[in-house]
Amino acid sequence: METIYLAIPLIPLLAAVVAGFFGQQIGRAGAHWVTILAVGASFLLSTVVLYDQVWAGAPVYNETVYTWAVVGGLQMEVGFLIDRLTAVMMTVVTFVSLMVHIYTIGYMHDDDGYQRFFAYISLFTFAMLMLVMANNFLQLFFGWEAVGLVSYLLIGFWFKRDTAIFANLKAFLVNRVGDFGFLLGIALIVFYFGTLDYQEAFAAAEANAGLTLSIFGTAEWSVLTVACILLFIGAMGKSAQVPLHVWLPDSMEGPTPISALIHAATMVTAGIFLVARMSPLFELSEVALSFVLIIGAVTALFMGLIGLVQNDIKRVVAYSTLSQLGYMVVALGVSAYAAGIFHLMTHAFFKALLFLGAGSVIIAMHHVQDMRQMGGLKKYMPITYWTMLLGTLALIGFPGFSGYFSKDGIILAVGESERAGATFAYLCVMLGVFVTALYSFRLFFLVFHGKERMDEHTRSHLHECPRVVTVPLLLLAIPSVLIGFYTVTPMLFGDFFGPAIHVAEGNDVLAAVGASYGSAMALLLHGFAAPPVYLAAAGVLTAWFFYIKRPDLLPGVNRTFAPAIRVLENKYGFDDLYIKYIAGAGRGLGNALWQVGDRSFIDGALVNGTAQLIGRMGARVRLLQSGYLYHYAFIMIIGLLVLIGWFLGGQLF
C-alpha cells in the first residue's frame, strides 16, 4: 500500500509538470488527456484506500517517507497519515477534481492558456492531497501554502484583466494574515512540545494541558487555548470565515472550473479538515471551541444575507459557500467534528454541481453573468436546469437529499450543545435555513423561469452545452441526491472515523442526537416535524412569490428595506475597512516614510546632498586651476614659505 500512497499525490504532480513544461509539444489534447488520466488514476487509487480503511479494516498508516532535516532533535519529515478521515478527504478531492478536469475541456475550449490551466489544476490537486495526507505540521504547512500559491495563479489566470489581478492579490494578502497566525500556532506547539509530528504533539498536549504562558502583563493564558486559536486563525483565512472572508467572493474572477475546485472540495475546506484533524488539541480548550463556534455562526447567517442582493450568478453561489462553511465551523465548535466533515463531503458534490451548472449557463449566455439579463432558460437548457434543481434542493436541505442529512445533523448537534455561544449559534443556523432557501431559489427562478430578459442575439443562439460539460453535471448530481442517505448513519451516529477524530467525554453531542435519531430513515421522518424544513419551504415560497408570481412588488420592497439593502450591498463595510482605511493607512504611512525618510533624508541629505556638496567644493577648487605655469610656481613658493615659517616658529617657541 505504501506505493499506492506515494502514487496518489505524485501522479497529478507529474502530469502538471508535463502539461506545464511540455504543453506546446503535446498540444491541447495532450495536456487535458495527461492530467485527466492522472487525476482519474489518483481517484481510483483513493477509492482503493477508502475500501482498505473502511471495509477491509486496514490499520492506520502513520509512517515517514523522507527525512528532510534534523535540527536539534527536531525531525523535519515528509510523512503520511492514512486513516478514515484522510481516505474520505482523498476520495472527495480527487473525484471533484476529476469532474472539474473533464468539464474544463468544454469551458476553456477557446482559451489561449489551455495547457497552462490544466497544469495549474493538476498541481492544485497535488497540493491538496499533500495537505490532507500529512502526518506532521511541516508537511501540512507545505500543502497549506501550496494550495494558496496555486489558487493565486488560478484566480488571476486571466491576468490581463485588472479585476483578476486585484482579486488574486486580495486573496493572497488576506490569506497571509491567516497564515501568519497559523505559523505562530505551529511554532507554539514546537516550542512547548518539541515536535512537529501530530501524534507526538497530541500526546504531549494531553500530558501538559495545564501549561500557561504570559502574553500581556502578568495575565496567564493557556498554551493550548492560544495555540488552537492561532491554528484556527489560519483556518479562518483558508476557509473564509469572518473577518477573513473578503477574498472568497472576489475569487470568482477566475475561470468557473477553478471556482468549483476552490469552493467545493479543496482550498476552502482545508480549514475544516485542519480543525477536525486537530480535535485532540481543540477538545482540551473550551475557550477555543467557543471562539470557533461564534465565528462560524456569524459567518453562516450574515454571509448568506449578502447573497440575497447579489446579481452575479457566480457570486450568489460564492456567498452560499461562505454560509455553508460557517455551518461546518459551527459543527466543529460544538465538538460535532464528524458532522462538519460529513457536511464537507456532501457540500463538495452539490456545490461543485452548482458552480459547474452556473458555468454552463455562462457559456450559453456568451459569458454574461448578470442574472437580470437571463430568465426562461429552462426550455433551452434542460440538462443544466434539472441538475441545478437537484443541486439547489440539496443545498437548501430538502428532505432526502444529501444536504438535508448533513445540515440537519449540524442543527440537531448545536441544539444539544451547552457550550458558551451555542444558543446564539442555534439561532443563526436556524435563520440561515430560510436565508439559504431564499437566495438559492431567487437565483433559480431568475435564471430558469420568468420572462426572457436577454438580448435577441443571445436568445437566438441559446442551446444546451456539449456533453463534455453536461456529463460532469449528471455525475455530480448522483451523490448530491443519494450519498447522504447511505452514509449518514455510520458517519454521524457510528464510529466511522474511529481514532481519527477525538471527542472528550461529555462533549459528544452527536451521541445524544444518535440516541433519538439513529438511522437515516428516522432522521428523514424527523425532518417533517422540525422547523428547518418549514423554514426552507418558506424561503422557497417567498422567492417564488416575489420573483415569479408578483415581481411588480419588488421595487416597493426594495424601497422599504433600502437602508438594510445598502448595508448588504456594501458587504457590512468590510471592503471599505480593509481597502480604504487599513490598506489606505498603510499606504499613507509608507508614502510619509518615503517622503521624509527616503526622499528627504536618504536621497535628499545623504545621496543627493553629498553629491551636491562635493560638486560645490569641486567648483570652488576648479578656480585654482588657471593653466599658467608661473601661477603654479608662485603657489609652490608660497607653500614652501609657509612650511619654513611653521618649522621655524616651532623651533623658536
Domain identity same for 505 and 621: no
Structural domain boundaries, residue 641 = 598-651
Instruction: Say if CB 356 and CB 257 are below 8 A apart.
Output: yes
In angstroms, the CA 263 to CA 251 distance is: 10
Domain identity same for 465 and 612: no
> How many CB atoms within 10 Å of residue 635?
12
Q: What is the pLDDT of residue 593?
A: 80
Residues sharing a CB contact under 8 Å with residue 501, sequence separation 6 or more, in sequence order:
85, 276, 279, 337, 338, 341
Domain identity same for 541 and 608: no
Domain identity same for 1 and 90: yes
Inside any domain, residue 190: yes
Inside any domain, residue 591: no
Domain identity same for 238 and 304: yes
**pLDDT single digits (tens) 500-522:** 999 998 899 999 999 888 889 99
**pLDDT single digits (tens) 55-104:** 988 899 999 998 989 888 888 999 999 999 999 999 999 999 999 999 99
Inside any domain, residue 519: yes
Instruction: Tell me which of 549, 584, 607 is where a domain ends.
Output: 549
Domain identity same for 429 and 352: yes
Domain identity same for 256 and 124: yes
Inside any domain, residue 41: yes
Inside any domain, residue 205: yes
pLDDT above 70 covers a percentage of the chain that reads: 99
In angstroms, the CA 354 to CA 403 distance is: 13
pLDDT above 90 covers a percentage of the chain that reads: 69
How many domains are contained in the chain? Answer: 2
Domain identity same for 221 and 143: yes
Inside any domain, residue 590: no
- The pLDDT-based confidence of 128 (bands split at 50, 70, 90) is very high
- The pLDDT-based confidence of 651 (bands split at 50, 70, 90) is low
Domain identity same for 291 and 411: yes
Inside any domain, residue 192: yes
Residues sharing a CB contact under 8 Å with residue 217, sequence separation 6 or more, in sequence order:
none
Domain identity same for 149 and 239: yes
Domain identity same for 618 and 491: no
Instruction: Say if CB 251 and CB 318 are below 8 A apart.
Output: yes
Angle between helices 531-544 and 402-416 (to 10 degrees): 130
Please state, in angstroms and as integers, the Cα–Cα distance from residue 269 to each residue in 266, 343, 355, following that order.
Answer: 6, 10, 16
Q: What is the pLDDT of residue 185?
A: 95
Instruction: Tell me which of 549, 565, 581 is where a domain ends.
Output: 549
- The pLDDT-based confidence of 203 (bands split at 50, 70, 90) is very high
In angstroms, the CA 651 to CA 653 distance is: 6
Domain identity same for 525 and 609: no
Q: What is the pLDDT of residue 392?
A: 96
Q: What is the pLDDT of residue 264?
A: 66
Instruction: Tell me which of 531, 549, 567 is where a domain ends.
Output: 549
Inside any domain, residue 524: yes
Residues sharing a CB contact under 8 Å with residue 73, sequence separation 6 or more, in sequence order:
194
